[in-house]
Amino acid sequence: MSKKMTPAAKNEAKWGLIFVAPTMIGLIVLNFYPIFNTIYQSFCKTGDFGKGNTFVGLANYQKVLSSSETWQSLWNTIKYALIEVPFGIVIALLLAVLLNKKIAGRSIYRTIFFLPMVCAPAAVAMVWKWLYNTQFGLLNNVFHAKIEWISDPNIAWISIGVIGVWSIIGYNMVLFIGGLQEIPGDYYEAASIDGASGVRQFLSITVPLLSPTTFFIVQTRIIGALTVFDLMFMVLDKTNKALKSVQSIVYLFYQYAFTNGNKGYGATLVIVLLVFILIVTFILQQIEKRVVYHN
Amino acid sequence: MESAEKHARRNKIITHVVLIIVSFIMLVPFAWMILTALKTNQESISVNPFYIFPHNGWHWENFATVWKSYNFIILYKNTLLMIFFRVVCACLTATMAGYAFGRLRFPGKKVLFTMVLIQMMVPAQIFIIPQYLMVSKMGMLNTTFGLVWPGIVTAFGTYLLKTGYEGLPMDLEEAANIDGCSIPGRFLHIMMPLTRSSMVSLGIFTAVFAFKDLMWPMIVCPKAECTTLSAGLAKMQGQYGSEYPTMMAAATLAVLPMVIIYVIFQKQFVEGIATSGGKL
Amino acid sequence: MEKAKIWFRAFWAREKEKLDKLTTRQKIRYIWDYYWLWILGIVCFFSIGGYMIYRACFAVKDYWFFCVFANTMEEGGNGSDLWKDFVAYSGYDTSQKKVEMNASMYFDPSIPGGTNNSYYQGFVALVESGELDCVVMNTEGLQGVGSSGRLLDLTDESSQEIYAKYKDRLVYCEPYDEEYEKDLVPVGIDISDSLLITKYHLYEGDCALGISAYTSRPEGVETFLEFLFSEAEEVA
């Protein structure tokens, strides 16, 4: 601690550290120890039939960075994020604004939009596989087409993105509703008295006051989309023709670290992804300073 | 004046049409889950989309079979206990850290917050083995607290509440500061009650994630008497040689309490508007 | 510390002043309204902490033997007949260390997408944490698990005795890792004619047993194998 700090600033620093202590201790024990472990593993060639770890230096990094598979799956992940993040957020915001008004049956609507979040993942996967089925699927039957929704490399990434948007809307909506609730109602009353229309109110009150929440959702959803896994995990399998052009980087990590037992290579993929997301986050934080409204 | 009324009515109808269409899209898997639960095994594996509804009678007995073959009371109890502990712990640690990150200045704030973000950037799979070993070495396998363990702090929640605190007007706290209210006093009596709806969102998310997590309870609590719903139905959900109708009946029974919890919490949301700024 | 005391006194004095004006019932109401979450939090904190210390001191933590039976629909977990018979046969004292059997895992690396589930992730966690001793599953699936290098190469020193005894029952797999010294690695023991099938009916087709590459207790597996073939020997 520097001597320049005023007593008030010292007091603030003390309470700040006390308040973050439980969370930080928990995160270090539960999460940072495993992360450091992973970093260490990325320099190792791990367990072959009980023969133990061997330190191989940067060999894994060399392999990962020179493999076209890595860059292809990183690109796939970005493509997925480009569908999921904007669509998921815009649709959820519109729904949240509609449901924040006093309309009949809004609690029923909210509950319905929340349902996909609690649905058994197995049920979700089966429904979508059924919808997308080439022979009997509902989509192909309705459009009288023979489109291979999830095994045609040109289409599959969009189909997967659609499932992603579908399953994230309810989630974003709950957050947006939370944010909308925190906007004081008198702001709108004042605006109504001044004769501002609904759209004007939305643009001049809702958008700026909701911008911290929106930024939070953008930031967490970008992280979420770049680490997408569960969805691919349920829908894709090894025999899928389009696998190479849709698999995300975490899916690739899973294939190496879990299915093939090559933990060192998998750990290296995680570190590469982590560095990439950190760069994206740094750029986002710079944007936040200019765009987000703080009162 | 009349045209304005007409305008409002038209708006309302459009709103409802949009909402109903979206509701339909959202409801499909859920409806499918229930409909499958009512079919015979034979029907359930045919992928012909024209057999959406069971056509050999509605087999309500699937639910009865599932209910009898599991001790649902114990599974519900374990699940609710785990959710309760996780929600309370996560909300408290996250609200404290969120306030500090959002409102206070202290050394190392940027580094610590980056650590919070990093936790969200790595795949969750890398945490399992060390966390499992911790629980095992503490002798907490097959206990409810073993289930709670990885959920006592939350990076996501910390970030969420930081956003909540940042969004509050600065003048509120400045006024309190001039009044001589100390930092914990400001936090407890002024700021925390105002972020109530963020806390409710966090509670809902914590509950949903805890509820859906299958792998953690499966390895930490393999015993049937102390596991949660999602893992307790493991036998039913085993991919191989499984029967979809019973499996879906089990899934439906498992989801119901979550829906009820949401409906209850949602009431909190709606009331939140009227009493915003009240006590927590 | 001194400052904290002063703060707390001031805080308490203010709260007390407010409380003095209220009736008992209102007092409880007031405290609950403001602090219910904190009260619950403290209760949670102490119950978790207390229970943790209690378990850390008194719970049975070590294993005699820990086995996973994958892909079976039959009852083979803790407390099942198989479990009871094995404990009786081996004479392990379960109040000192645990005998753990888990028969609710479903994954099959030999079919496409057969490892894309939570069960497989859980299984990998059990193996790599070093807690698991052995896994029994259909032979093809076991070969798939073996290919990932998670099962012990039975020619290894630690399993010499098992290797010598069950030489004619070995199951081989091809490692995914092309740099490994052998093209075919013995990772499993075929137990299709053991008690597991004839008496407990855990599997319908063939099945095999593999030893975890990270185990520290090969003796337990040896005893389990003896148990599996015990009655067959008696008959012979």
Query: Is B158 in contact with B94 (CB distance < 8 Å)?
Result: yes
| pTM, rounded to two decimals | 0.87
pLDDT of residue B237: 57
Q: Does C13 touch chain B (CB under 8 A)?
A: no
Element (H, E) at C209: strand C207-211
Task: List % helix, strand, coil for chain A (3-state, nearest 5).
Answer: 75, 0, 25
Two tokens, residue A177: 């509703």
Q: Pick the residue of B145, B153, B242 with the most C CBs within 10 A to test the interface with C by mutation.
A: B145
Nearest by CB to C177, from A233, A237, A262: name it: A262
Beta strand C170-173 with C185-190 is antiparallel
Alpha-carbon distance values, A11 to A30, B243, C4, C117 (Å): 29, 62, 11, 50
Whether the pLDDT of residue A110 is over 50: the answer is yes
Q: Is residue A4 part of a domain?
A: no
Q: Does A12 touch chain C (CB under 8 A)?
A: no
Q: Is residue A6 part of a domain?
A: no
Cβ-Cβ contacts under 8 Å between A and B: the total is 266
- With CB atoms and an 8 Å threshold, state whether B126 touches A124: no
**CB proximity list for C99: less than 8 A, separation 6 or greater:** C63, C64, C65, C66, C78, C83, C86, C87, C90, C92
Q: Does B239 touch chain C (CB under 8 A)?
A: yes
d(CA B99, CA B103): 6
Nearest by CB to A33, from B93, B130, B149: name it: B130
- With CB atoms and an 8 Å threshold, state whether A49 touches C213: yes
C-alpha B44: how far from chain center:
29
Average pLDDT over residues B163-187: 79
- With CB atoms and an 8 Å threshold, state whether C11 touches B280: no
CA distance B256 to chain A (A): 9
For residue B119, which of A240, A257, A199, A33 has the smallest C-alpha distance?
Answer: A33
Average pLDDT over residues A76-85: 94
Instruction: Summarize pLDDT for C126-174 with one digit per residue, the tens.
Output: 998 888 999 999 998 999 888 888 888 888 877 888 888 888 888 888 8
Two tokens, residue C54: 């209690």
CB atoms within 10 A of CB B29: 23
Give A74's strand partners. none
Whether the pLDDT of residue A105 is over 70: the answer is yes
- With CB atoms and an 8 Å threshold, state whether C129 touches B239: no
Query: Is B250 in contact with C151 (CB distance < 8 Å)?
Result: no
CA distance B262 to chain A (A): 7
Where is pLDDT greater, at A166 or A150? A166
Average pLDDT over residues A203-227: 89
Q: What is the mean pLDDT of chain A?
A: 85
- pLDDT < 50: residue spans in chain C: 235-236
Query: Is A205 in contact with A187 (CB distance < 8 Å)?
Result: yes
**Lowest mean pLDDT, pick from A12-16, A158-162, A285-289, B5-9:** B5-9
User: What CATH number should be reported for the domain holding residue A187?
Assistant: 1.10.3720.10
Whether the pLDDT of residue A90 is over 90: the answer is yes
Domain count, chain A: 1
Two tokens, residue A90: 């815009």
- With CB atoms and an 8 Å threshold, state whether A114 touches B48: no
Beta strand C98-105 with A44-45 is unpaired
Q: Which fold has domain C63-235?
A: D-Maltodextrin-Binding Protein; domain 2 (3.40.190)
Please name the residue of chain C whose CA is at the shortest distance from the CA of residue A50. C213
- With CB atoms and an 8 Å threshold, state whether B126 touches A133: no
What does the buried/exposed string (b/e) look like for C42-78 if buried means 16 or more CB atoms within 10 Å of the residue's CB? eebbeebeebbeebeeeeeeebbbbbbbbbbbebbbb
- Spans of all domains in chain B: 71-232
Give C70's strand partners. C105
Q: Mean pLDDT highest for which of A2-11, A62-71, B141-150, C196-205?
A: A62-71
Instruction: Summarize pLDDT for B193-202 with one digit per residue, the tens.
Output: 778 778 888 8
- DSSP letter string over C75-137? --STTSHHHHHHHHHHT--TTTSEEEEEEEE---TTSTTTT-SHHHHHHHHHHHTT---EEEE
C189 φ/ψ angles, rounded to the nearest 5 degrees: -120, 125
Average pLDDT over residues A178-207: 80
Average pLDDT over residues A201-222: 87
- Spans of all domains in chain C: 2-58, 63-235
Beta strand C63-70 with A44-45 is unpaired
pLDDT of residue B269: 55
Percent of chain B clearing pLDDT 70 (strictly above): 87
Average pLDDT over residues A215-236: 88
Task: List % helix, strand, coil for chain C (3-state, nearest 5).
Answer: 50, 15, 35
Q: Does C143 touch chain A (CB under 8 A)?
A: no
- With CB atoms and an 8 Å threshold, state whether C112 touches A49: no
Q: Residue C207 half-sphere exposure, CB side, CA atoms within 13 Å? A: 21
Q: Is residue A18 part of a domain?
A: no
- With CB atoms and an 8 Å threshold, state whether A238 touches C185: no
- With CB atoms and an 8 Å threshold, state whether C124 touches A233: no
pLDDT of residue B275: 38
Instruction: Summarize pLDDT for A17-72 with one digit per residue, the tens.
Output: 999 999 999 999 999 999 998 999 899 887 667 666 788 888 889 999 999 999 99
What confidence category does residue B94 fall into, taking pLDDT thresholds of 50, 70 and 90?
very high
* Chain A: partners with 3+ C-beta pairs within 8 Å: B, C
Q: Does C116 touch chain A (CB under 8 A)?
A: yes
Whether the pLDDT of residue A219 is over 70: the answer is yes
Q: Mean pLDDT highest for which of A151-155, A221-225, A255-259, B141-145?
A: A221-225
d(CA B85, CA B82): 5
Q: Is residue A229 part of a domain?
A: yes
Among left, alpha and beta (phi > 0; psi -120 to 50; other), residue C169 is alpha
Please name the residue of chain C whose CA is at the shortest distance from the CA of residue B193. C34
Please name the residue of chain A whose CA is at the shortest distance from the CA of residue C185. A49
d(CA C206, CA C191): 8
Contacts of C10 in chain B (CB under 8 A): 182
CA distance A111 to chain B (A): 7
Q: Is residue A237 part of a domain?
A: yes
**Lowest mean pLDDT, pick from B17-21, B35-39, B102-106, C43-47:** B35-39
Instruction: Summarize pLDDT for B27-40 with one digit per residue, the tens.
Output: 887 887 788 888 87
Q: Is residue A213 part of a domain?
A: yes
**CB proximity list for C21: less than 8 A, separation 6 or greater:** none
Average pLDDT over residues B74-85: 90
What does the buried/exposed string (b/e) look like for C154-175 if buried means 16 or more CB atoms within 10 Å of the residue's CB? bebebbeebbeebeebbbebeb
- With CB atoms and an 8 Å threshold, state whether C116 touches A260: no
Please name the residue of chain A whose CA is at the shortest distance from the CA of residue C153. A49
pLDDT of residue A81: 95
CA distance C217 to chain B (A): 17
pLDDT of residue B274: 37
d(CA B73, CA B68): 11
Query: Is A154 in contact with A161 (CB distance < 8 Å)?
Result: no
* Chain C: partners with 3+ C-beta pairs within 8 Å: A, B
Q: Pick the residue of A41, A49, A246, A254 with the most C CBs within 10 A to test the interface with C by mutation.
A: A49
Average pLDDT over residues B176-184: 77
CA distance B69 to chain A (A): 19
CATH code for the part of the protein at B71-232:
1.10.3720.10
Structural domain of A105: 61-291
d(CA A246, CA A232): 8
Two tokens, residue C22: 């209220």
d(CA C101, CA C82): 9
pLDDT of residue B109: 92
d(CA A18, CA C8): 15
- With CB atoms and an 8 Å threshold, state whether B219 touches C56: no
Q: Does A48 touch chain C (CB under 8 A)?
A: yes
Average pLDDT over residues A227-247: 83
Sign of the C-alpha dihedral computed for residues C148, C153, C154 and C157 taken in this order = negative
Q: Pick the residue of C8, C36, C43, C48 with the most B CBs within 10 A to test the interface with B by mutation.
A: C48
Q: Does A260 touch chain C (CB under 8 A)?
A: yes
pLDDT of residue B273: 40
Q: Is residue A259 part of a domain?
A: yes
What confidence category does residue A184 fall into, taking pLDDT thresholds of 50, 70 and 90?
confident
